[in-house]
Chains A and B, each alone.
Chain A
């Protein structure tokens, strides 16, 4: 029972990171109908920036802020320079472009930072918490991870529902033609969507890197799991991505805990295949049928 509690709580912490990556993919998918394969690589790059800043200033939080700012700028610049030319083109163009970007960003990271594994600091203590004599299997930092992702998701939800920028984002995502008719500058709105996705992705990179080490391909498997979380949620639904991330994180932690950690990547991929086979529109999606 105690073990079960540990695996569950630990899974929530992992799941929130998958949820954050999933959320960033959903933001881009809703706005541009593009699956951004370079989302993980973007997060990796902004985490390297954080590491550089932390090493220079000695302050974790300055590095944290620098990574988030990098994520915003990277998202906006990539949308303007690389994605804009393939928007409204056949979907395969965008697939090729974002995979090319993934290879490019990982190559650049290798050139500038080298390929070796680097440890990345955690924001808070990683020693396990106890409730009396019972070990909970989670640390203060795990609590921070969950709180940070939840806070980001809540802030996004509030922005979408209650601000003009959020209304523009939703109008452009649901019906770009009608939005244009009404004077919404859809191009700028898409840039904003990518910037927000870059921000959430950068947050995921910061939160997961203390566990995974940082190297050019360090976010690859996290990306696959984040994508799985988004697909479970239907790829269209921000709330779905969060729930999908939690389901996936907890399930994979049971697999790792009870069956052995070697099986985790295998089960992650199996989960993706299963969801795509059994319920391709996701558990929470409102739309039915989609061309990929």
Chain B
């Protein structure tokens, strides 16, 4: 057993006087999917924002492969290997699909390395290859979700943070997105932290589950054990 790819240790963070995270610790082992679950306002999105540097933690450490990233700037955290796919699909609508992908690959060194990454991406996501010269603003919700995930992967992140990837998508497309996350773990050994309201679909693909409630961790165990815990499910997860 190697050390965790990502470890959040005793993080306290919030906006103004409100502490959205109160002493939160989670770990994600390499090559696993960790689902972070909880109701609206539990602090899930703040947790991801704190890991990627958009929210500054007041206390605690964010360890990526043993390096503390807490209080660094978001662009430096991204360069250190944290990919973050935010809620609401941050496609750059004024750029084309290919340009969006190329922004994701900018931090790679070397022209050949970048064009190989682009070719790999088109092979994995044929629907993006077809739309490569279209303005990203013309894509459907599902296509945009695929694009932002593919764009984050262009940077070869060590850890991928996904915030509500199923939000606002049709059930069929949710299944596609979840399948994609599974495939990425299995084929590339990617470490994924998956924030979801949709606890049932998240636990179906996750290895571990963490439940947040009003800024605190109330449960952290194997995904199958969490899914089997009827009382916990009723109380915090609503299914």
Q: In the assembly, what is the distance between CA of A167 and CA of B86, in Å?
A: 21
| B75 with A183: CB separation less than 8 A | yes
Q: Does any Cβ of A come within 8 Å of B99's Cβ?
A: yes
| B52 with A181: CB separation less than 8 A | yes
Cross-chain contact of A168 among B54, B106, B155 (Cβ < 8 A): B106
Q: Does any Cβ of B come within 8 Å of A185's Cβ?
A: yes
Chain A positions 110 through 146: 1 when the CB is less than 8 Å from some CB of chain B, otherwise 0: 0000000000000000000000000000000000000
Chain A positions 187 through 214: 1 when the CB is less than 8 Å from some CB of chain B, otherwise 0: 0000000000000000000000000000
Q: Which A residues touch B90, using CB under 8 A?
A: 175, 177-178, 181
Q: Does any Cβ of A come within 8 Å of B152's Cβ?
A: yes
Cross-chain contact of B92 among A164, A171, A183 (Cβ < 8 A): A171
Q: In the assembly, what is the distance between CA of A171 and CA of B93, in Å?
A: 10
Closest to B53 in A: A180
- Point out which of A167, A168, A182 has the most chain B C-beta atoms below 10 A from its C-beta: A182
| B92 with A174: CB separation less than 8 A | yes
| A175 with B79: CB separation less than 8 A | no
Cross-chain contact of A181 among B86, B93, B94 (Cβ < 8 A): B86
Question: In angstroms, how far is the closest chain B Cβ from the Cβ of A165?
Answer: 10
| B107 with A178: CB separation less than 8 A | no
Chain A positions 5 through 29: 1 when the CB is less than 8 Å from some CB of chain B, otherwise 0: 0000000000000000000000000
Question: In angstroms, how far is the closest chain A Cβ from the Cβ of B52?
Answer: 7
With contacts A167-B103, A171-B103, A183-B107 taken as known, whether A178 is within 8 angstroms of B92 at the C-beta atoms is yes
Question: In angstroms, how far is the closest chain B Cβ from the Cβ of A290?
Answer: 15
Give the residues from 156 to 188 in chain A that come closer than 8 angstroms, CB to CB, to chain B: 164, 167-168, 170-171, 174-175, 177-186
Q: Does any Cβ of A come within 8 Å of B56's Cβ?
A: no
Total residues of chain A contacting the partner, CB 8 A: 18
Q: Which B residues touch A179, using CB under 8 A?
A: 92, 103
Q: Which B residues touch A174, using CB under 8 A?
A: 92-95
Q: In the assembly, what is the distance between CA of A181 and CA of B106, in Å?
A: 12
Cross-chain contact of B74 among A170, A180, A286 (Cβ < 8 A): A180
Q: Which A residues touch B78, using CB under 8 A?
A: 180-183
Q: Which A residues touch B103, using CB under 8 A?
A: 167-168, 171, 178-179, 182, 184
With contacts A170-B94, A175-B90 taken as known, whether A184 is within 8 angstroms of B52 at the C-beta atoms is no
Question: In angstroms, how far is the closest chain A Cβ from the Cβ of B117?
Answer: 13
Q: In the assembly, what is the distance between CA of A174 and CA of B79, in Å?
A: 20
Q: In the assembly, what is the distance between CA of A186 and CA of B151, in Å?
A: 18
| B75 with A184: CB separation less than 8 A | yes
Question: In angstroms, how far is the closest chain A Cβ from the Cβ of B53?
Answer: 8
Closest to B52 in A: A181
Question: In angstroms, how far is the closest chain A Cβ from the Cβ of B65?
Answer: 17
Closest to B89 in A: A178
| A183 with B95: CB separation less than 8 A | no
Q: In the assembly, what is the distance between CA of A182 and CA of B161, in Å?
A: 12
Q: Which A residues touch B208, using CB under 8 A?
A: none
| B106 with A164: CB separation less than 8 A | yes
Q: Which B residues touch A171, using CB under 8 A?
A: 92, 95, 99, 103
Q: Which A residues touch B57, using CB under 8 A?
A: none
The 9 residue pairs across chains A and B that have the minimum distance between CB atoms: A183-B78, A178-B90, A183-B107, A174-B94, A183-B79, A175-B92, A180-B74, A171-B103, A185-B75
**Which B residues form the contact surface with A (CB < 8 A)?**
52, 54, 73-76, 78-79, 84, 86, 90-95, 99, 102-104, 106-107, 151-152, 155
**Which A residues form the contact surface with B (CB < 8 A)?**
164, 167-168, 170-171, 174-175, 177-186, 286
